[in-house]
Amino acid sequence: MLTVELLQDSFSLYYKGRKIPAVPLYATPLLHYVQYVAPYVAKRLVDAGIRRFRMRDARAARIIELACGGMCTHAQDGDEVEGLLEEAYYNLLADRLLAYAVSADAVVVPCADPALARALMRRAREYAPDLATIASQHGGECPDADIRHTPRPIETPLPLGPASRAAVHTAIWALEEAVAESPLTPLLDWECNNVKT
């Protein structure tokens, strides 16, 4: 039986009385993430000697220019930085998720989002090597994970999308198979607009 404890600023999932730490990553509209990753991107640009960079969003580019402290500027003929932004963003999400790993012995890796899966496994190995990685192989595969599981999206009391319902199924499987005692589980998709009232 899956139950939910709702708090003002967070929630917890419980399966047969055992807590599944869950972190909603994409639950609310994100503020422009560039402000969080701009210092990292600016450092990478300066370290690489890139003085002119290009990206589609001029407002986001201005934030990176500010983080560069005048050492790099946005220009249409500059080096492309979209890939660097994506890497920084997914590293930020992985770091945010792993900050909750204090009480966890494993992390469920949602293979449906390959960029997040790579960042999460890389960061887990770097900063939490004792944390087992359990691949939730719904919508993708994660061959580098310590343990792999092919879930099915299960019904939950929360309005979760298929990738999140599959990740919860992987967490439940890990508990039932004694693969993990407390699998940290990222929730990627919500279906709040589709809730039946």
Candidates 88, 149, 137; CA nearest to 113 is 137
Query: Which pLDDT score, from 0 to 100, does residue 192 have?
Result: 58
- Average pLDDT over the chain, rounded to an integer: 86
Query: Which pLDDT score, from 0 to 100, does residue 80 have?
Result: 93
**Helix-strand-coil percent breakdown of the chain, rounded to 5?**
40, 20, 40
Structure tokens at 112: 């449906």
DSSP string, 76-89: TTSEE-HHHHHHHH
What is the C-alpha to C-alpha distance for residues 181 and 9, in angstroms, rounded to an integer? Answer: 24
Candidates 91, 101, 187, 108; CA nearest to 147 is 108
Residue 8 has pLDDT above 70, yes or no: no
* Inter-helix orientation angle 82-98/34-47, to 10°: 120
- Give pTM, 2 decimals: 0.76
For residues 30 and 70, the model is more confident at 70
Query: Which pLDDT score, from 0 to 100, does residue 89 have?
Result: 85
φ/ψ of residue 189, rounded to 5: -135, 140
Maximum mean pLDDT: which of 25-29, 33-37, 97-101, 116-120: 116-120
pLDDT digits (tens, 9 = 90+) for 151-179: 999 998 888 889 999 999 999 999 999 99
pLDDT digits (tens, 9 = 90+) for 118-136: 999 999 999 999 999 999 9
Distances (CA, A) of 16 to 19, 22, 114, 170: 8, 16, 31, 15
Residue 62 has pLDDT above 90, yes or no: no
Query: Which pLDDT score, from 0 to 100, does residue 28 have?
Result: 38
The identity of residue 83, as a single letter, is G
Please answer whether residues 111 and 166 qualify as being in contact, where contact means their C-beta atoms are separated by less than 8 angstroms.
no
Query: Which pLDDT score, from 0 to 100, does residue 168 have?
Result: 95
Please answer whether residues 62 and 110 qualify as being in contact, where contact means their C-beta atoms are separated by less than 8 angstroms.
no
Query: Which pLDDT score, from 0 to 100, does residue 31 have?
Result: 37
pLDDT digits (tens, 9 = 90+) for 47-58: 999 999 998 888
- What average pLDDT score do residues 141-160 get? 92
